[in-house]
Amino acid sequence: MEYFERFVSQANAIVWSNVLIFFLMSAGIYFSLRMKFFQVRMIKEMVRVMLGGKRSKEGISPFQALAVSLSGRVGTGNIAGVATAIFLGGPGAVFWMWLVAFLGASSAFIESTLAQIYKKNENGQYRGGPAYYIEKGIRNKKLGKIYAVVFAIATILATGVLLPGVQSNSIASAVNNAFGLSHTWMGIILAAMLGLIIFGGIRTIARVAEYVVPFMAIGYVLIAVVVIIINYAQLPDVFGLIFSSAFGLNATFGGIIGATVSMGVKRGVFSNEAGQGTGPHPAAAAEVNHPAGQGLVQAFSVYIDTLFVCSATAFIILSTGMYNVKGPGDELIINNGVYYLQDGVQHVDGSAMYTQAAVDKVFNGQETFDINYQGVGSYTVAIALFFFAFTTLMAYYYIAETNVAYLTRRWGGPTLMFMLKITMLLVVFLGCVRTAKLAWDLGDLGVGVMAWLNIVAILILQKPALKAFRDYEEQRKKTENPVFDPKKLGIENADFWENGYKEKAVEVIEK
């Protein structure tokens, strides 16, 4: 087992190397240039499409698709991950997170538009994602199927088996620390709640996400706004610190400029998931008249994740001064209020506890971090982590389910779907009781393989998405609701759209 753990750890280091980060960033820059920085030009259109969509018996609304994708994008990393980025990269890491979100929106557009172009109507439900567009988009059919199957298997293992237990453990630990509820009882409650939702299918998942995701995101941002208002005098210094640290201009952080860029970029990529292949799954389930419309909605979801939720955490921590920054070695180069002991007794090396300490400072007057202190911060962060991680579990299930559906289109579908549900609920319960580093590493490895396969795929298959984008822009100048015709654009294998979708009597229900 020791050798296997070492192998997985080394494989993770290779898969999640700077090469992957470079590819994801380069793809974002490339797509941004190809679409003339639509991220700025079409923000108003993104909001219009997001709020003006409809749902049908086969598909969910664009807003529901946004909510489901945000369920996966917005997770514990938005609280703990941002603190880790600041600890290892300094305040300037926040700037590089913003830049990654801006560029990553273009990759999110491409992958989500492709998911819509090549989606399927299977058993009265829209399905799609990387496995579907890889198979249909690659000209060599045999290679395309093999490629798609590898992606589907990696995705099922990562999101359906390995990562859910780690998320549920985060929930159990946070709730236990704040409210004293045992891990076992939390596991039972969590599995029961999740079971009620996932046995209802994508419509139930979408309905829950539609209400819970805006509630949790807006609620968390409002807490940040209150903290910022109370510390408004610090805002100029916070912005100055972020920008000066980002470019190594601040003397205190000048020696960690490399770590600043690296951590900001990596945390941005991990958080918004643009180009990694997760967002296209719910994007394909949306009821839209044109694939590019859902592409715009998913691009906006990247902004919500990073520019709003991640920034909320950053400003809570930085405006209160409750953070530490680690130097190139193991030395602590700054301590702005969070209690820190090198002997490990109260060593906080980047976690949700920074956010907890910041909120406690504002509402409880707690000037230094105390690992045993229970204040407003403990309860607030525990509740936020519960919602963030729980909605991530919902998204994980739907992503895994979509890939099981892809693999079982011809045999064993209902049985394997049931087995997936039971397996995930069992994993969620066991994750509350105990978790292991190996599970994290295996899950990260699966997601890393997904990211590699997907980023290569969207670079190969970019033409249909870019054609759809240009067609949408041209039609939008003449009409409020562009309609997609793949034959007119020379896009092949878009079976769903080619089979007279617009001529069918689809029952559409107002959102």
Backbone dihedral angles phi then psi of residue 339, each to the nearest 5 degrees: -65, 135
- Evaluate whether 217 touches 384 at the Cβ level (below 8 Å): no
Helix (H, G, I), strand (E, B) or coil at 335: strand
Domain-by-domain residue ranges, the chain? 42-476
pLDDT of residue 53: 65
DSSP state for residue 60 in the 8-state scheme = B
**Amino acid (1-letter code) at residue 82:** V
Q: Report the amino acid identity of residue 119.
A: K
How far is Cα 206 from Cα 220, in angstroms, rounded to an integer? 21
* 273 alpha-carbon distance from chain centroid: 5
Furthest CA-CA distance within the chain: 70
pLDDT surpasses 70 at 506: no
pLDDT tens per residue across span 118-168: 998 877 788 899 999 999 988 888 899 999 999 999 899 888 888 888 788
- Evaluate whether 403 touches 127 at the Cβ level (below 8 Å): no
pLDDT of residue 403: 92
Residue type, 62: P
Q: Which residue type, as a one-letter code, is found at position 442?
A: L
Alpha-carbon distance 319 to 313, whole Å? 10
Number of other CB atoms surrounding residue 230 within 10 Å: 14
The per-residue pLDDT for 445 is 81
Q: Which residues contact 92 (CB under 8 A, 6 or more apart)?
A: 241, 242, 243, 244, 245, 246, 247, 248, 250, 253, 257, 260, 264
Q: For the domain bounded by 42-476, which CATH number is listed?
A: 1.20.1740
Does the pLDDT value for residue 340 go beyond 60?
no
- Nearest-angstrom CA–CA distance, 302 and 304: 5
- Each residue's pLDDT tens digit, 116-126: 999 988 777 88
Cα(302)–Cα(69) distance, integer angstroms: 10
Q: What is the pLDDT of residue 384?
A: 86
Per DSSP, 331 falls in state -
**Averaged pLDDT for residues 392-419:** 84
What φ, ψ does residue 401 adopt, rounded to 5°?
Answer: -60, -40
- pTM score, whole prediction: 0.87
